[in-house]
Chain A
């Protein structure tokens, strides 16, 4: 055991990842889900989960008359925290310019991830691809 530890010494600060991760939640009209998922992929978001949701109607009358299409795509993406500024700038522009592309987006900080390979995948850090320790 001691020998094993000697062979693979734990470097100082090894438990601290170089870039923190965040869970980015983006809610858009249902038809735009694929567009925004592809768009977010260009910001190193390797893991994205898209589910269908329902928006809540603003008023009972609108809901009763069925005037509003309330189906939504909810995209959960894991992104690097240092990319969030650029992602939000780009999303803001897309929300304003894409036809029917308005949406809501927010980030929730992730506190821990275990596994170098998992972290590498989530942060698109390709240097860690040698092995999962």
Chain B
């Protein structure tokens, strides 16, 4: 039994990671890992538009089964997307192989990506 996974990343203003995880769980995701980071934006653009880009960011990283990826992305877009206070950027990348997930058989499994 092979199961494909995708890694979903959400780069969001600091303090909004809990909202991201809440939304992801609503769409069926399991756990996630939060990494602190710093965002950058062109200074000229900030001055021109008279806005401040919050430099403190959190990167939420989670592995989700491929079949619920679209649901998770959609839920994150509505709860934590650019139009929300968190100004989240959400994307997913393909995962070749995954190991150690709770819904996985103990033996390693290879996803057929070709």
Residues on A lying within 8 angstroms of B by beta carbon are 22, 25, 27, 51-56, 58, 72, 74, 81, 84-85, 88-89, 91-92, 95-96, 102-109
Measured in the bound complex, the distance between the Cα atoms of B97 and A56 in whole Å is 22
Residues on B lying within 8 angstroms of A by beta carbon are 5, 7, 17, 21, 31-36, 61, 63, 93-101, 106-108, 110, 113
Once A88-B97, A92-B99, A108-B94 are accepted as A-B contacts, the answer to whether A54 and B33 lie under 8 Å apart by CB is yes
Residues of A within 8 A of B113 (CB): 109
Cross-chain contact B99 with A106 (CB below 8 angstroms) = yes
Residues of A within 8 A of B108 (CB): 88-89, 92
Cross-chain contact A51 with B99 (CB below 8 angstroms) = no
Closest to B110 in A: A85
Cross-chain contact A107 with B34 (CB below 8 angstroms) = no
Closest to A91 in B: B99
Residues of A within 8 A of B35 (CB): 51-54, 74
Cross-chain contact A107 with B33 (CB below 8 angstroms) = no
Residues of B within 8 A of A55 (CB): 31-34
Residues of B within 8 A of A95 (CB): 99-100
Q: What are 9 A-B pairs at a CB distance below 8 A? A: A53-B35, A54-B34, A55-B32, A81-B96, A91-B99, A92-B99, A104-B98, A106-B7, A108-B93
Residue in A22, A56, A102 whose beta carbon sits within 8 Å of that of B33 in the complex: A56
Residues of B within 8 A of A103 (CB): 100
Residues of A within 8 A of B61 (CB): 25, 53, 74
Cross-chain contact A104 with B100 (CB below 8 angstroms) = yes
Give 6 A-B pairs besides A22-B96, A103-B100 with Cβ atoms closer than 8 angstroms. Answer: A51-B35, A52-B36, A55-B34, A91-B99, A92-B99, A109-B96
